[in-house]
Each structure stands twice: as C-alpha cells, then as structure tokens.
Chains A and B, each alone.
Chain A
Amino acid sequence: MDHKALALEMRGLREQVAGVTDTALAAADGLLIAADTADSIDPEGLAALAAAGLGLARRTSEATARGALRRTVTYGSHGCAAFYAVGDTALMVVLGDEGIDVDHLHRATQPALRRIDLILTDRAVDTAVDTAPEKAAEGV
C-alpha cells in the first residue's frame, strides 16, 4: 500500500472541503488504518464506533428495504460525523464542524473513496511481498 498516497488523500479532503476537521480510515472490522485527527479525538475508538455504526446502518437499510447503504451521518449541535464504506474492505470517517456543507462533502468524498479503495487494494499486493512491517515501522 502506498502510505503517502493514502495520507495525501485524507489530508487533501480536509483542505478541499471547508469545515472538515478530522478524517480516519479503518478496516471493516473497526481496526484503525490511518488517522488525520486532532489530539482531542481518540482515533481507535472512533474507528470502532464507525464500524459498529455502519454495520447497524447497513442492517437497517436491508431490514427496511432501502437498498444499498450509501453513508450514514450523525448530526450534533457542534457539527457532524459522516461514515462511508470504502468498497467491501474498509470505511472512512469524516468529522466536520457546524459550517460544513454536507452535500459538498458527499460530492467531494466519492472520488476520494474510489482512489482510497484502489490504494487499499494495492496494499494487499504489497503485503504479499512482505513490505508492510517496514512501512508500519516508518509511521508515515
């Protein structure tokens, strides 16, 4: 997996959409892969919450015949948390403040999700050639 490309995608989203405060990427089982979060956020807890939330939303969508799940967004008085599935393997969390234009976020996120999915797919190939431990140690 190209760690740098993945990091640039996540940071790019924060710089592209006004109001994005944090992003995190997790495997479908809730284990954190990458975090671009402020110190006040626990990224591992956030990843686990996102996996649980998306799983619940997916089952709700199925149980209510709403079709394939697109995303889930939690709105609070100080902003929102958007959870997106990244293919079948991962999920992405985007936190935004009160000013974020959520429609704009959804539009901007789609191409990024596709690129991230491709990067993660490549990572599976990289892992097979035993490069992961070194890259993880780099802490890129």
Chain B
Amino acid sequence: MSGYEPLAPALTACGHEGFTGELRIAGSPGGTFHFRDGLVVAVESPGAPGPEALLLRSGRVSGEQWAELVRESGGSRWPATALVAHGYAGAAQLRVVCSMALHDAAFAIVAGRVEGCERALVAEPFAQVPVGEQPARLLREAARKLAAVAGLPHPVRPDRDRPVPASGGRGGNPSALRLELLAHADGRRTARDLSFRTGRGVYTVTVEVARMLAEGLLELPGTPAPLPVLRMSPDGQGVRRRPPPAEPVPPTPPAGTELPRRKPGGFFRIRNGIPK
C-alpha cells in the first residue's frame, strides 16, 4: 500500500498526543490533515475534490454566488452558515458532503506517494466537520478502499491511468455517471482529473473507471498520448527577443469632443491613514 506505511505512525502519534494543527504530507498528490485535539476535522489534497469543488461542479451553487457567500461570511473558506441561510443546501447535506470529501482526500493521499510528514501549529484549525474522525480509523478506511480498488479485475491508480472510450464498447443503458465519464475520458484525464471534472468523489470515479475498463466500455491506449502539436511562427524565424517597451506616446488632446471631461481633484490620497 503506497502511502499507508509512512502515514500510519505519524497520524497515530497525532491522535495519541491530542495534537491541534496541521500534518502536511509531502508527496504526490500529498495533502494536509487538519487536527483538533487529536481528531481529524478536515483533510485537503490536490488528489480529491473538496466540498467547494463538489458543490460548484454539481451546479448547486454558481461561481458568482459562491463569491458572494464568501464575502458575506467575512472571507471564510467554507461559508457553511451562508450556504444554509440562502437555501443552497441543508445543514445535514453539507455535513455529508464535507464528511465524504474528508474521507475522499484521505483515500487520495493514501493511494499516492508519501515522501514525508511535517507538523505545523495553527491557532484555529480549518474544520470541515464539527465532530472529528479518529485518525487510525480514517486511515484504516482509506486502506480498505485502496485494497478494494486493487482487488478489482482491472485495478486503476487514481493518478496514473488515462482511459479513452472503447471503440464500439458502448451498449446497454449506462448510468448518468458512466455517461459523464465516457464524455470526459479523452486519454488526457486520470480518474483524479475526471473526479474534478464531474464533481464526484475520486474513490467513486476510480472504482467506476475500473469497472468500465473491465466491462470494455473504456480502454487504455496502448501508446502514450500523442505529443503536443508544434507549430512554427509563419515567418519561420522562430522566437525573437521581446522588444523593449515603447516610449509612451503623449495623448493627443481631443478636438471638439463632446464627451464630458473629468476634473482633477476628484480623488483623494491617504496619508498616514488620514484622507487628504
């Protein structure tokens, strides 16, 4: 198991010591376990979509609405109260989304490569869930999922395999998730990439991709994806040095314009905190 062995002692020690702060995991994809009094209250990883990505990709909240919620919540990273107050999600739904994202990020870290762990003390840990998880139990759950994926007929690594739809493989009545995966599997995206693109958990997508590979709906290209297209500039001279910035051209005074002209002095400067 890729990341299990190096993670287990570090996470267990944080739990036993009642650690409050961050345990930063270096590696690929790596991530951060957030602890409060020895319990894991949030996990973030580039390898798994967080609650924000899940909500935004699901279309439940638009990007503009999210920005407004964050402003309303004083810049909070997770504007849970505002989400509920505006009716975008119920409190129980948010707890489920956060808990799923926490477990999913732990799975992504464990499934990847762990190069080291480093603690960082923070005054107030970032928390996604009100009641934290026992780190040992969280790790066992992630390891169980990893073993389940490895036991599938066509095991898939979340960050390695880049499937494409199988030629002539579509049949039956595929589920909504399978249709989405077929639409976005282009030979460039891993299961991790597909999970972000579709707004689903990386474990869910990894298992589904593995099943679709086994059923012949997806396939892995035998050769690496084609190299990027390279084009020369039309003059064939290749790249040139950036020209030095041009001398500023003095603005020509408008002649006979009827546009209103702003008068100088309409702004004020602040000196030592006092407007002048």
Q: How far is the CA of A33 from the CA of B48 in the complex (A)?
A: 32
Q: Could you say which residues of chain B place their CB within 8 Å of the CB of A14?
A: 188
Closest residue on chain B to residue A3 by CB atoms:
B230
Interface residues of A in 60-97 (CB under 8 A from B): 62, 76-78, 88-90, 97
B46 in contact with A33 (CB, 8 Å): no
A99 in contact with B232 (CB, 8 Å): no
Partner of B193, one of A27, A78, A97: A97
B66 in contact with A77 (CB, 8 Å): yes
A97 in contact with B230 (CB, 8 Å): no
**Nearest-CB distance from B106 to chain A (Å)?**
15
A46 at the interface (CB under 8 A from B): no
Q: A77-B56, A89-B241 are in contact. Are A34 and B231 (CB under 8 A)?
A: yes
A33 in contact with B230 (CB, 8 Å): yes
A18 in contact with B46 (CB, 8 Å): yes
Q: A27-B239, A78-B56, A124-B239 are in contact. Are A7 and B227 (CB under 8 A)?
A: yes
Number of residues in B with C-beta < 8 Å to the partner? 41
**Nearest-CB distance from A11 to chain B (Å)?**
7
B208 at the interface (CB under 8 A from A): no
Partner of B229, one of A99, A101, A139: A139
Q: Could you say which residues of chain B place their CB within 8 Å of the CB of A43?
A: 229
**Nearest-CB distance from A127 to chain B (Å)?**
5
B227 in contact with A11 (CB, 8 Å): yes
B227 in contact with A132 (CB, 8 Å): no
Q: Range of interface residues on chain A?
A: 35 or more
Q: A18-B159, A77-B67 are in contact. Are A99 and B239 (CB under 8 A)?
A: no
A11 in contact with B237 (CB, 8 Å): no
B231 in contact with A39 (CB, 8 Å): no
A1 at the interface (CB under 8 A from B): yes
**Residue among B62, B230, B232, B236 with max Cβ neighbours from chain A (10 Å):** B230
**Nearest-CB distance from B186 to chain A (Å)?**
6
Q: Could you say which residues of chain A place their CB within 8 Å of the CB of B49?
A: 98-99
Q: How far is the CA of A6 from the CA of B30 in the complex (A)?
A: 27
Q: How far is the CA of A76 from the CA of B240 in the complex (A)?
A: 32
Q: Could you say which residues of chain B place their CB within 8 Å of the CB of A8?
A: 227
Closest residue on chain B to residue A123 by CB atoms:
B238
**Residue among A34, A77, A88, A104 with max Cβ neighbours from chain B (10 Å):** A77
A120 in contact with B239 (CB, 8 Å): yes
Q: How far is the CA of A104 from the CA of B28 in the complex (A)?
A: 11
Known: A76-B63, A120-B238; 4 extra A-B contacts, CB below 8 A, are A4-B227, A31-B233, A35-B228, A127-B238
Provide 23 A-B residue pairs closer than 8 Å at the C-beta atoms, listed in order of the A residue: A7-B227, A11-B228, A18-B28, A19-B46, A23-B228, A27-B238, A27-B239, A28-B241, A33-B232, A34-B228, A77-B62, A89-B240, A89-B242, A97-B197, A98-B53, A99-B49, A104-B46, A120-B239, A123-B238, A127-B238, A135-B230, A136-B232, A140-B227
